[in-house]
Structure 1
Amino acid sequence: MSSVESRQSVAIIGTGMAGLITAYILRNDPRARFGVEVFEKQQKLSLDSASLTVKNNSGTEQRVDLPMRAFASGFYDNLRRMYDYLGIQYGSQRFIFPFSTISDTNSNDIYTRFIHSSHIHQFPPLRPQGSSWASWLVEALYLLVCYLWMVICSFFIEPKQGDDSRPSETFHQYVARIRLPQYFVKHYYLPIMSAVTTCPHDALLNFPAIDIVNYQAKTFRKPHYTVIGGVSKVQDKLSKGLNVRYSSAAIKVENVGSKVQLTWKNDESGSTESKLYDHVIMAVTPDVVRAIFPPLRSALSVIPTATVPAYVHRDFDRLAKCSQVVDGGIHPEPGLPPPERIHLCSNSSSTEFTHEHLSSVIITTSPIIPIDPSKIEHTVTFTRTLRTPTSRKVTNEIFGPASQSDGDLKQWRNGDGNVWVVGSWCWDGMVLLEGCIASALRIADRLDIEVPWAS
């Protein structure tokens, strides 16, 4: 089955992390059984399409990843194994997190409550300027007790799982059950987890508690890493030699006899084309899947998505108060890059995630404080898939083991009719990059493809 004529034809829709990993796995099948064609609606691959190259204050060019691609060991084990196999270089990165509160009535009224350094690389913790030693010490001890209680609970108090009679426990219900203080939840835990998930507080509180608790347990005391040179290095490795149809937006996926027909529109010519394949794999968000694949239109309607804006800018004045309380207390360590500051500025409903990049630009996600339009250099929006107990149940029925699929979706499961879906949301866990690899490995297992880094 090594000749081109005898290969199974595969179309992959989307060139994000999930699409490129799946294409790489299929193209490198040891038995060479698959011919892969990839469809991308943009004129470039999407994994690195939002990122940009900027010059720092010394004139050196640096790559800025959008969204931020930091990852922690423990949770991202499949991602790290793949990076190691591909020869992707990554290094440990230290962060400093000022936690600040923004007034709901005046966005210029900002109060920095505490400054946390990842893995306590700054000890004792930095004290915000203007905060008395007594108030700072009380806040630090309070946070230590609350955090330790949350960690203990994440290891020993399991969130309640759902069944046919009741949904899974939400994070809001879980923190109430373990009696985690609301002050800590509102001003510290929700802001840091909102930065991880890029979603507002209400949506985060409605996440299945098992997602957040598992993430907490797996990343406890684990270092964070970033790819050296940016995620473009990963994109180059995965896409080398890949056959890509650019400016080709998928319109419909449907079974025709024993084949799968993909219909797409060429944005350059305006023409609509169709082609039959042995397999079609959709590596896109659930809102796109339900638009192009009718069998999942109803089921995926319960999986919410949100649009998340991000800005690259040089408006340093907007965070002057937050920066002043940090400056002067950071201790550099020989041989290590300086820590990067990530400001978590929250009002009563959401958190603004502002990253002071080492390249001298600022990346602000979901801004609350206004940004000077004249200082904005780049703007992008992302589609974030949210999680709820209902969407978790539907996802497990579509993508989980057969034993979990005893609900209303028996008429279609991932792979039926040789139609597949992969992505960060296509597994039972936080919607992060690890889900991309996990869902791609599941397809490899179903198609009996040996994946070198998975062994």
Structure 2
Amino acid sequence: MNIAVIGAGIAGLVAAWQLSRRHAVTLFERHAVPGFIASSVALNDAAAPGLRVDVPLRVFYPGYYPTLTRLYAELGVATEPVDYATTFSGCDGRAYFRWRNARLGGWSLPYVLPQDVASARGWRIVQGALRFHARARAAQAAGELGGASIGEFVAAERIAPEFVDGLLLPAVATIATCSTADARAYPAAVVAGYATAGVGRQSVRRARDGADAVAAKLLAGITRVQCSAGVVAVRRTADAGRVVVQHATGEEAFDHVVFATQANQALALLADSAPDEAAALAAFRYRALEVLMHRDTALMPPRRADWSPVNARVCAEHAQPESTIWINRVQPGLRHAVPLFQTVMPQRAPRDDSVIGHARFERPLVGAGSGAALAALQRLHAQPGRRVWWCGSYAEAGVPLLESAVRSALAVAERLEPGAAGAS
């Protein structure tokens, strides 16, 4: 078959790579390079000449990312454990809590302590964390979470508000890159699934050579890659036997088209969407996300002793927590370089002369309607004679991360050719 994949984020790269094993595949990408690495920053640092940094930073832990882990193993992508300890600070810059993890090989022993051992607030956070983990694990095992949001669950369980507002919701908002209100509306089952999949027992890991190495491995197996493609519309032929992709240099017809873009972007491109297709795609919601690469230490905790690899700033007057990653602590090749930071959802602007990269994204939201939206998408995929498909981090259950993107790509490949999917 002749298949088009639109979008070269991780979902598009994996879908095109998997399908290229048996078919002629064209991967269309609007950027000059695949979207998965389009925002990466190349450094001009004497201590690390030519080194690139992923934007956003891409880390994982095997318990919640089993499909991604198997994919990396199949590709021969080397990974390494990283320290992802986190400091939580208030608007005044004072650190009130720190999550640490002692690593032993591929395993991690978490321990949580107030930054000030005399802090009553800090100890209530510890107590809340222990109660939450025990109650969430028990409720998940008993199937009692149902359709409750995490906000409803912690209220019903009377979990300490110091933990909920000071640690749980900021952590969910940081992982899912959403607002605190969005985090409160997250399904309790999704949060519990992430928290109990081994994040406390396994080391956070990264691809040793970054997203560029992952992209190179996948690109090597794809039939044809067309960057700067400028796809403007997709429509089916009158007899529904082919699908036409209109792009900057003309039109091409394919047997199948896989949208590996955001749902809202796919809806805008599909010129002849049926009512059920339009309704399903419109049901997925997104929030804007900003990421800054910079060297401004003012966005870190004021006391150097409070610096962690990840530093969350939690302020009630801001809709979302700010997260500043100390890249030198996460990427070993930069350990001796000039301090470098990546700030996600910034509450403050770094000095203009310190900024070396600026990227904007949209991230899928998960809420009460997500299950119904996913079910509608699966009903579309199950329709006989289907020739248009969708994949991406939004298209599978769970927190929309690399894992769900890869799972969705392999699921579409399986739909197109049952029994052929690899790392699933």
Shared topology, TM-score over 0.5?
yes
Q: Does 1:238 align with 2:187?
A: no
Distance 1:285 1:185 in 2: 31
In structure 1, distance between residues paired with 2:242 and 2:134: 49
What CA deviation, in whole Å up to 9, does each residue of 1:203-233 have, x standing for no partner? Answer: 1112222211111111342221011011110
2:34 to 36, 45, 60: 45
Matches within 5 A, 1:20-419: 20-28=13-21, 32=22, 34-56=23-45, 58-102=47-91, 109-119=92-102, 128=115, 131=116, 133-135=117-119, 138-158=120-140, 168-219=147-198, 220-240=200-220, 242=222, 243-256=224-237, 257-266=239-248, 271=249, 273-293=250-270, 294-295=273-274, 296-321=277-302, 323-326=303-306, 341-348=309-316, 349-358=319-328, 359=334, 360-399=339-378, 413=382, 417-419=386-388
Paired AA for residue 218 in structure 2: L
List, as ranges, runs of 4+ consecutive aligned residues in structure 1 with deviation greater than 6 Å: 120-127
How many residues are aligned here? 399
| Structure 1 residues 376 and 39, CA gap change in structure 2 (3 angstroms) | same
CA distance 1:414–1:386, shift in 2 (3 Å) = farther
- Give the Å deviation of 1:124: 7.7
Per-residue deviation, 1:253: 2.5
Q: SS at 1:367's partner residue? A: coil
Shift of 1:314: 0.8
SS at match of 2:346: coil
Amino acid at match of 2:20: R
Q: Identify the range of structure 1 (291-300 vs 421-430) with the bigger mean alpha-carbon deviation.
A: 291-300
Alpha-carbon contact 1:10-1:277 (below 8 Å) kept: yes
Q: How far does residue 157 in structure 1 lie from its aligned partner after superposition?
A: 0.7
Structure 1 alignment gaps of length 5 or more: 1-7, 103-108, 163-167, 328-339, 400-404, 406-410
Q: Is the 8 A contact 2:280 2:376 kept in 1?
A: no
TM-score normalised per structure 1: 0.81
Q: What is the Cα deviation at residue 66 of structure 1?
A: 0.9
Decide whether the 8 Å contact of 1:27 with 1:35 is kept in 2. Answer: yes
Q: 1:440 aligns with which of 399, 409, 413?
A: 409
Q: Which residue type is aligned with residue 148 of structure 1?
A: L
Alpha-carbon distance in structure 2 between the residues aligned to 1:26 and 1:428: 23
Alignment of 1:19 with 2:3, yes or no, is no
Distance 1:174 1:279 in 2: 43
* Equivalent pair of 2:286/2:364 in contact (CA under 8 Å): yes
Identity %: 22
Q: Is residue 101–residue 110 contact of structure 1 (8 Å, CA) maintained in 2?
A: yes
Contact 1:171 / 1:205 at 8 angstroms: preserved in 2? yes
Q: Which residue is equivalent to 1:420? A: 389
- Which of these two proteins has the greater Rg computed from alpha carbons? 1
TM-score by length of 2: 0.87
The offset of 1:126, in angstroms, is 7.2
- Partner SS state of residue 381, structure 1: strand
Aligned-residue CA RMSD (Å): 2.4
Maintained 8 Å contact 2:114/2:126: no
